[in-house]
Amino acid sequence: MFAASRIQTRAFSASARNLSKVAVLGAAGGIGQPLSLLLKLNPRVTDLALYDIRGGPGVAADISHVNTKSTVPGYEPTADGLAACLKDAEIVLIPAGVPRKPGMTRDDLFNTNASIVRDLAKAVAQSAPKAKTLVIANPVNSTVPICAEVFKARGVYNPKTLFGVTTLDVVRASRFVSAIKGTDPKDENITVVGGHSGVTIVPLFSQSSHPDLSSDAELVKRVQFGGDEVVKAKDGAGSATLSMAMAGARMADSLLRAAAGEKVIEPTFVESPLYKDQGIEFFSSKVELGPDGVKEILPVGKVDATEKGLLDACIVDLKKNIEKGVAFVAQNP
Ligand code: NAI
């Protein structure tokens, strides 16, 4: 009897774990399409729900022919379509919103993207309040606080399940360093903390196996403004989409692996105690993920004098970006 019930419990938890619905909002965009394709290739995803204000069902039909097991429904751009897309989702990724053009900062996107993210957050609060929400839409430093405010107003805010996706910053840092040092990027695990735009992006090379690099101002700047290289090269056709899709798919996979009991550490922009005494509510640092989302926020650790200066500059901008998001929801609930 005992053995049978134990087997039953194990079977249940295994099948529960085997069902992972992931929803992508903005799935037909430059990021949304390759991101959805990569998620289709992830065997941990069993139901891939795609929504966009245009083209969602088309992208879904196309990706659904890839011969992996997951189902790929595409939803109509209606309130009902959005609600059905979100229902029972374990993870919601939000790459919806306009990207930068040459000469623009991420903050220049605020006016358009703030209301897009606010409205999608309302739908998440309504239809998937327990989902892990991964915000890709820029400016991440403000769109994450926007989601938090929307969730708070609806009584569903859980700081353990709201993430700003900053994975691309560590992906870039790892690649840039390995190119300089002639090493394999998989061995270059560079910590990047702060936020996700310009000077709020702070690489901590002193903690890597190449502490000398923290004095390489050009490299630091390249990590902080790596996105601008792509915007410039695309010459008006958008910003990073393919590398971002890889980074977003990695973050989603990390959460799915953590939900399955693996120990996973990812850098991500979350509500954080690290700089709360300086009025900073959200901060990106290494975070241990667990079945419920954030398990433990790891400290920034030892930094050298150059990095301390970078962090001071980061805090000034980050504070303004966060306040801007909070004020937006207060004024435009
Ligand atoms: P895109 O313009 O190619 O795609 C955006 C998609 O969102 C479009 O298909 C559009 O129809 C859709 N959309 C717009 N409003 C929507 C709504 N209310 N509901 C659902 N879908 C909606 O833009 P792209 O290149 O895919 O970039 C998307 C966002 O990701 C931008 O804000 C960009 O700045 C940001 N981004 C973030 C990065 C990060 O590291 N977190 C890196 C690169 C870009």
Q: What is the whole-number distance in angstroms between the Cα of residue 208 and the centre of ligand 1?
A: 32
Q: Is 251 in the pocket of ligand 1 (CB under 6 A)?
A: no
Dihedral angle sign, alpha carbons of residues 153, 47, 293, 246: negative
Strands 91-94 and 21-25: parallel
Architecture of the domain delimited by 20-165: 3-Layer(aba) Sandwich (3.40)
User: How confident is the model at residue 19, as a pLDDT?
Assistant: 85
Q: Which tokens is 265 given?
A: 């550490």
ipTM: 0.99
268: enclosing H helix or E strand: strand 264-271
Which of 52, 100, 269 gets mutated to test ligand 1 (max ligand atoms within 8 A of its CB)? 52
- Nearest Cα residue to 122 out of 158, 96, 159, 83: 83
Tell which residue, 37, 39, 74, has the closest CA to residue 53. Answer: 74
Q: Report whether 170 contacts 251 (CB < 8 A).
A: no
Å from CA of 196 to ligand 1 middle:
15
Residue type present at position 203: P
Burial of 234 (0-12, 13-18, 19+ CB in 10 A): middle
Instruction: Using a cut of 0.90, tell me whether the model's pTM lies above it.
Output: yes
How far is 94 from 80, CA to CA, in rounded Å?
18
Predicted local confidence at residue 101, as pLDDT:
87
Residue 154 CA to its chain's centroid (Å): 22
Query: Is there an atom of ligand 1 within 6 Å of 244 CB?
Result: yes
Output the CA 97–ligand 1 centroid distance in Å: 4
Ligand 1 pocket, residue 196 CB under 6 Å: yes
- Predicted pLDDT at 17: 54
Domain boundaries, the chain: 20-165, 166-324
Q: Is the CB of 99 under 6 A from ligand 1?
A: yes
Mean pLDDT by 10 residues, the chain (333 residues): 44 57 98 98 98 98 98 98 98 96 91 97 98 98 98 98 98 98 96 97 97 96 96 94 98 98 97 97 98 98 97 98 98 97
The finding on whether 25 has its CB within 6 A of some atom of ligand 1 is yes
Among 25, 229, 244, residue to substitute to test ligand 1 (most atoms within 8 Å of Cβ): 244
Q: What residues contact residue 29 under an 8 Å CB cut-off, 6+ apart? A: 52, 95, 96, 241
Query: Measured in angstroms, how far is the CA atom of residue 20 from the centroid of ligand 1?
Result: 23
CA–CA dist 5, 218 (Å, integer): 61
Structure tokens, 296: 């433990």
Please report the pLDDT score of residue 281 as a whole number.
Answer: 98
Query: Does the beta carbon of 238 lie inside 6 Å of ligand 1?
Result: yes
Catalytic residue, candidates 21, 40, 132, 196: 196
Assess contact for 20 and 256: CB atoms under 8 A: yes
Segment (H or E) for 40: helix 32-40
Secondary structure of 203-264 as H, E, C letters: ECHHHCCCHHHHHCHHHHHHHHCHHHHHHHHHCCCCCCCHHHHHHHHHHHHHHHHHHCCCCE
Residue 65 falls in the annotated catalytic set: no
- Residue 14 has a pLDDT of 41
* Nearest to 244, CA basis, from 255, 230, 233: 230
Q: How many whole angstroms from 113 Cα to the centroid of ligand 1?
A: 9
Yes or no: is domain 166-324 CATH 3.90.110.10? Answer: yes
Report the C-alpha gap between 170 and 269 in whole angstroms.
12
